[in-house]
Every structure is written in C-alpha cells, then in structure tokens.
Amino acid sequence: MNKRHITFFFIIIIISLAIISRLGYLQLYKNEFFKEKSNNQLKRIIKLYPNRGSIFDRNLKPLALTEPSYQIYAIPNDIENKWVLAKKIAPILNKDRKDISDKLYASKAPFLWLKRHASESTMKTLKALNLKGLGFIKTEKRVYPNNQLASHMMGFVGIDNQGLSGIEYRYDKQLKGSSGKIILDGDPRGTQLVSGKKIKIPPNDGQSIITTIDSSIQFIAEKFLEKAVKKHKAEAGQAIIMDPKTGDILAMAIVPTFNPNTWQSSKTSDRRIRPITDVFEPGSIFKIITLASVLEEDIVSSKTTIHVPETYKLFNKVIKEAHARKENESSNKTVSEIIEQSLNVGTTLLAIKLGKERFYKYIKEFGFGEKTHIQLPGESKGLLSPPQKWSGLDIATHSFGQGIATTGLQLTAAMSIIANNGIYIKPRIIKYFQSKDQSTLKGIPIQKKERIISEQTAYEVKKTLFNVVERGTAKNIKIKGYTLAGKTGTAQKAKTKGLGYEKGNYIASFLGFFPVEDPKIVMLVSIDSPQKGYYGSTVAGPVFKECAKFIIDYYNIPPNTLTTTLRQGISKVNSY
C-alpha cells in the first residue's frame, strides 16, 4: 500500500469519526429539541382572538364598542368563472365589478381578501349565492356609535383592530386582551387526527375603560364651538371643560373634527388632539399668572394703586396698550383694574417688581413648561426658556402672554389652581378600568399636588376675575343670577417658522370658572385665526357663556349672585 492509499484511508477515518460524533451529539444532546420540533410540525394551531374592551363615558354611555363582523375572501384557483363571480358579488360588496375581476385574474396568491369587514346580512346574502371559491371568517369590528362625538380622545383602530390614535392607541394593550389558541394533533399535511390530542388555551378578553367624559357636556361643547368657528370663519378651535375639584375632563371639543368610523377619509391634521399637542402664545389670559405671583409674594394687593402710563419704554422697545384710553381717563390704576382692563403696561410694571427669577418660579409651579401627563398620547410640554436665556424684554412680554407657548390643557389646569383655592389637581381622562364581568380592576386616583398659592391669594385673584366679568373686558359673558369669573385673551399668532407674528391672525380665548363661590367648572375656549372679529370676549366668550348656561341647568345649580360663602371669602381677603 503506497503513501497515497494511506492518506486516503486516513481521511476516510477522520470523516467517519466526524459523522459518528455529530450523530451522537444529535441523538444524545439534541434529542428533546428535535423531538419537540417534530411534534410541532405535526400540530395544527388555530388562533383564538379576544374581544376588544369597550370605552364608556362617566355615566356608562358607550363611546366605542365591538360588534360581530365577517371577513370575505376568495380562493382564485377554486373559482369556476372569475368574471361571473365578480359580476354577482360586486353590487353586494358595493365595489366595482372590473376591479374585483382584475384582481382575481392578476392574483398569483392562493388567497385574496375581498372585504375585511362586512355585516352579517352581507355575509348571508353572499353565502346564499353558493359560489365556489368564496369564503368567510367571523371576526369583530370596532364601531363608534356617536360618530364624531369625542372622536379625538377615543381615537380609532386599524383594519386588524389595533389602536392607532387616542385612548385606543394609549391603552391598546389593555383593550385588546391576549389571544388564545387551539392546538390539534395532525398529520404532516396539517389534517387533524381523529385519535389526536386537543389542547385549548382560551383568550383573555380586553378590559373596558370608563372615562371622565360626560357625553351631554361634550355634545354641547362641540355644538357651540363648531358654530363659533363657522361664524367667525376661523381655522380651528378647542374647548376644555374640567372639574377643578377632581381634575376630571368632562369635555374636550376640537374643530375640525372627524368620524372615527371612517377615519381614512379625514386629514391627518384634523385628527390631532389640539388641546395637548398644539402650543400657542396665550396672550392676556396669562396675566392671571402674573397677578397671582405678585399677590403671593406680597408685593402688592388687589387694591394697590400704581401709575400706569399708556406706553412704557423698555430696552429700546415701546410697550403699549391694545385699546386706546378714554379722554381724561386717569393713569392711576389699582392692581385689580390693571387686570379688569387688561393693561399690558400695568402687567409689565407688576412683573418688573416681581423679578424674572421669582416670576419663572411661579410659571413653573403653575405647571407650564411641563407635561400634565394626562392619559392621552402626543402631549407637548410647551415652550418656556429658563430666565438665564431671557432677553431684557422677556419679563414684560411674558407677563402678558407673549414669548411663551402653552397648551390649552396647561392653561385649564393652571386656572383650576385659582378655582381650587390654591391647590393643583392633576387632570385625568380615565376613571377606571373594568374587566368583562364588570368588576373594577384599576382606578386612576385623583392626584393632588402641594399648595401652589395661599388661600388668601386665590381669593384675591377670584375677586379680580369676578370683576373682569362684572365690569371689565368680559361684561358680555355675564349670566343673570350667577357668578362667573375669567379672563379674556387676544394673542397675535406667532409664525411657525422664523421670528415675528402672522399679520392679521390672532388666537381669541376666554378662560374662566363658575360659580365663583364654589367652582364646579373650569373652562377654556380658544379660537384659532378668526377672520370675522378677533377679540377673546366677542369670539370665544359667547361659547363659554352658552356652555355655562347648559351646565347650570344640567347640574341644577341654584341662582345665587354673591352667596354667604363668597361674601365671607371676600371679607377674609379684605381683612388680610
């Protein structure tokens, strides 16, 4: 045997040993792995889908439900005549006959969806035709029985019922539950064996969500907001109605709106939750924060008199009032009158007395520059620079709501501090989660933060804002027999790109609460870019008034002007 033969046999021995070693490894060490893999290949798994949880308002009126639906499909290879089938089913599915037949002829796939969600009556009509190659799968479809009502908060779902927006997206995991399955023993072709085992893992249905929304108040807010947007030819609008004692959002109306049942036909911009995503300069309603800050620091009282010129020069910039003064009108104004008459120069003088460091501290404590963390997706924290980055003019412009950007919800939550005697309550839109058997699983607690301002300061601000409605810039909002308080705001709209403001475009707002003696409602109305009128009192104010009138009747609030409680409160302020 020569050297070549020896080398050949040596290689054969090495290869044989390698094969034997590999077989031994697979037999001894990987036995269970391949056994399980083999068994799995002989199993047929049928997925069981859970029922998606519902969404209700605070009174358990349905806002989002799930109803039975049917998916309709075709198996092109089983269809005897595709043109005839398309002709028969097209009118029933409300589709074009040519589109269906073209898809059937062009498809190379063994399976083709014809309609993902069809009603039971549609399914029965098609089934009665007894057409070969047509199949049906029972499923479910998300429906919103009130159409556009509260659509931005509810959001919507995709074709497979996955949440894509709003509460549907934020709590998709809780709403959809978890899938189950049936595991069947089968042959290599997937056919179930008669003698095989059957294992069923049931699905867990999704939880239902009970929100803080009141459908009746939401409807009224949407109605009057839409009316105002149309009347003033505005670009958009928002209205937030909140219970200051609990933080419950009772309504959040947004215009433009959309129908979540047909969300695909709406614009992306129309589906934004504007009260939490859009930021804007609040204008004069921010004077409430300036007032509360100087009162809390005991720099002035509401009765302190200050000389307020019509113009004021600060760092080579002239600050002036939005309205011309009457002839022979005095320049000496009380702090209350500065707010009642919405004087920019007067508010600037108050902020200068306060100083930028302390002013910034109160702006932050009132919740600006931070998210409220409401249970909705996409919230913005607004725009607020630290005082180190303020220009010399910023303390003035910030005092009357320019150079700072807030969300509508931040403003509403800040006003609730005044209404709630100085204590911040975190806004919430979810009350609790509920299982299918209607037992409460998890509640969202009312969250109180530390006191922001003293009770004395809150009373003084309340009294001043009451005077704004009684004799100031919001006299047109008065409701006979009831005490309302608030502040108007007319802010020139900042450019989205670059510095400066859009010529002729304003955001008109009114932020208030009622009744003053025991506030049950805080409400913000803000109208974006009205073309017919632009003052907060005449554009946003009437929406506030109409909603307030409805809520007074709805809550059966008795007609009291200045009750004993308020009189005691005002006396308490005057005694400090």
Name the CA dihedral angle for 91, 93, 98, 101, rounded to a multiple of 10 degrees: -120
Retrieve residue 3's tokens.
């050297």
Are 535 and 508 in contact by the 8 Å Cβ rule? The answer is: yes
Q: Which pLDDT belongs to residue 482?
A: 94
* Element (DSSP H or E) covering residue 251: strand 249-255
- How far is the C-alpha of 139 from the C-alpha of 543, rounded, in Å? 43
Domains and CATH numbers, the chain: 47-179+199-211 (3.90.1310.10), 215-261+270-575 (3.40.710.10)
| pLDDT recorded at residue 164 | 95
**DSSP annotation of 283:** G
Whole-number pLDDT of residue 25: 64
Those residues with Cβ within 8 angstroms of residue 268's Cβ, 6 or more apart along the chain or in another chain? none
Radius of gyration of the chain (CA): 33
Other CB atoms within 10 Å distance of the CB of residue 164: 14
Catalytic residue among 69, 215, 284, 416: 284
- 330 annotated active-site: no
Residue 513 near residue 522 (C-beta atoms within 8 A): yes
Torsion of CA 76, 80, 82, 86, to 10 degrees: -100
Q: Which residues of the chain have pLDDT under 70?
A: 1-5, 8, 23-48, 109, 182-198, 497-498, 561-576
- What pLDDT sits at residue 190? 47
Give the position of tokens 């909140």: 242
**β-bridge pairing 521-528 and 236-242:** antiparallel
Give the H/E segment covering residue 200.
strand 198-201
pLDDT of residue 447: 87
DSSP three-state, residue 360: helix
Output the pLDDT for position 394: 93
Number of H helices, E strands in the chain: 20, 21
Q: Would you state the pLDDT for residue 574?
A: 46
Dist CA 161 CA 187 (whole Å): 33
At residue 21, the pLDDT reads 73
Q: Identify any residues that bridge with 472 across adjacent strands, giving them in sequence order.
A: none
For residue 328, the SS3 value is: coil
The pLDDT assigned to 195 comes to: 44
pLDDT at 201: 77
